[in-house]
């Protein structure tokens, strides 16, 4: 891991000198907050910051979107190299935190006054355990989630004469077989029940393998105590399920995202996606188009709640911050009860707080946004990522075996999962 980090640092050092050199930390006399460059989150940051600055003249905060680059992760890494990080950053992927914690560039938040009391009031103990670093400290604040669920075309599902929406693998196969069709009679299927990107890119597995694995396993980890623990029947079942979808042409291997939205066009009946799809669907859906969300499909005979990947983005304080306690006091206004309501109203993103679906304070929002209520109900059963400094490499290794087994059928599911787990274990020997 150190070797990989050194390579990345060398590559990005030049980029940092160009893009971040004018952001001199020593000359800064306000708390600098980098938010996402999503327009809704910029508006949220402005709202919170304006209110804070009005009441706290001695601890002023300046917000700005994370600087432009190929990715926000690249920008943050470049800033870390040059020690030009913001005081606060609110778009941190949970899977990156352990690497930064081990690099000693983040503030241990559990050392700040009032932090743990506030966190336990807002979050379930299981969430707090999930975000703990391997050294026992907490370096990130759970902030928002976008649970991955199954979106489906209501009219299509009703026309297939099913017993409700497909919840299990066998029900999913049955619905897929009924919907599949060669519409133009050229001998090739051109209507598929679902769609998922076949790219080997590591983060694509957040929208197929990983949420399905969490659903099947009841939220089990991929790695624990520096060992792969996903070499199990749940992972094999997920690979088998997805492989069958591609083998039977129920999912297309063709890249459908290059054309008109296949879901809204009725080319596909379902997709694994998060709540951000609501705004897109409402803007572009044809007249009379109806859609809903439901749980991820699970193996036949599954018992208990259905978990999924929550796609969490969290808040961190960098060690370049001169006054972490003041920074934390500001963050509290972002994530208190009122701040979380503002997040919902301004961005339509879910705060990661307990009892979100039942707290009366948020009733009006969910009454006015009923599709978001489905995600609030799901929020009780979401997982982020395991604490590991090599998490991207882990997902990359799984993705390589996914391509070999699921997409191209070159390996059996058992062989592919075993090979992925063996390769992951080698990461921890370096």
pLDDT digits (tens, 9 = 90+) for 284-338: 999 999 999 999 999 999 999 999 999 999 999 999 999 999 999 999 999 999 9
Residue listed under structure tokens 């999912």: 251
pLDDT at position 294: 97
Residues of the chain with pLDDT under 50: 1-4, 6-26
Give the pLDDT confidence of 190-230 residue by residue, as tens digits: 899 999 989 899 999 999 999 999 999 999 999 999 999 99
pLDDT at position 48: 98
pLDDT at position 29: 85
pLDDT at position 258: 64
pLDDT at position 163: 86
Provide the 10 A C-beta neighbour count for residue 233.
Answer: 13
């Amino acid at each position: 891991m150190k070797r990989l980090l050194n390579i990345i640092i060398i590559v990005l050092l030049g980029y940092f000198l160009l893009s971040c050199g004018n952001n001199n930390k020593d000359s800064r006399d306000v708390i600098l907050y980098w938010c996402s460059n999503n327009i809704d989150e910029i508006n949220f940051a402005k709202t919170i910051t304006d209110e804070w600055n009005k009441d706290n003249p001695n601890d002023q905060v300046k917000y700005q979107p994370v600087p432009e680059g190929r990715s926000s992760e690249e920008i943050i890494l470049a800033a870390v190299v040059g020690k030009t990080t913001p005081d606060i950053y609110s778009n941190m992927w949970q899977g990156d935190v352990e690497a930064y914690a081990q690099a000693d560039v983040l503030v241990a938040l559990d050392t700040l006054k009032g932090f743990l009391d506030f966190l336990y009031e807002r979050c379930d103990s299981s969430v707090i355990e999930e975000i703990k670093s391997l050294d026992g400290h907490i370096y990130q604040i759970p902030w928002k989630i976008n649970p991955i669920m199954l979106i489906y075309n209501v009219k299509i599902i009703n026309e297939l004469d099913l017993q409700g929406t497909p919840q299990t693998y066998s029900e999913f196969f049955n619905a897929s077989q009924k919907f599949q069709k060669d519409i133009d009679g050229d001998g090739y299927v051109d209507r598929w029940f679902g769609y998922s990107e076949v790219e080997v890119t590591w983060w694509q597995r957040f929208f197929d393998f990983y949420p399905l694995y969490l659903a099947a396993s009841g939220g089990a980890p991929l790695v624990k105590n520096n060992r792969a623990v996903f070499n199990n029947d749940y992972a094999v079942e997920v690979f088998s399920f997805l492989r069958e979808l591609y083998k039977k042409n129920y999912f297309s291997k063709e890249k459908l995202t290059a054309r008109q939205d296949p879901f809204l066009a009725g080319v596909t009946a379902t997709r694994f996606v998060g709540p951000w799809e609501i705004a897109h669907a409402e803007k572009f859906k044809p007249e009379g188009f109806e859609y809903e969300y439901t749980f991820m499909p699970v193996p036949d005979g599954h018992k208990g709640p259905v978990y999924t990947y929550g796609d969490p983005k969290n808040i961190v304080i960098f060690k370049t911050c001169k006054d972490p306690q003041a920074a934390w006091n500001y963050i509290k206004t972002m994530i208190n009860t009122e701040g979380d309501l503002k997040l919902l109203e301004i961005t339509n993103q879910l705060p990661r707080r307990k009892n979100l679906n039942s707290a009366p304070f948020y009733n009006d929002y969910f009454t006015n946004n009923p599709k978001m209520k489905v995600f609030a109900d799901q929020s009780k059963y979401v997982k982020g990522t395991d604490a590991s400094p090599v998490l991207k490499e882990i997902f990359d290794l799984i993705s390589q075996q996914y391509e070999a087994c699921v997409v191209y059928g070159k390996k059996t599911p058992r062989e592919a999962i075993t090979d992925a787990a063996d390769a992951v274990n080698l990461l921890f020997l370096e």
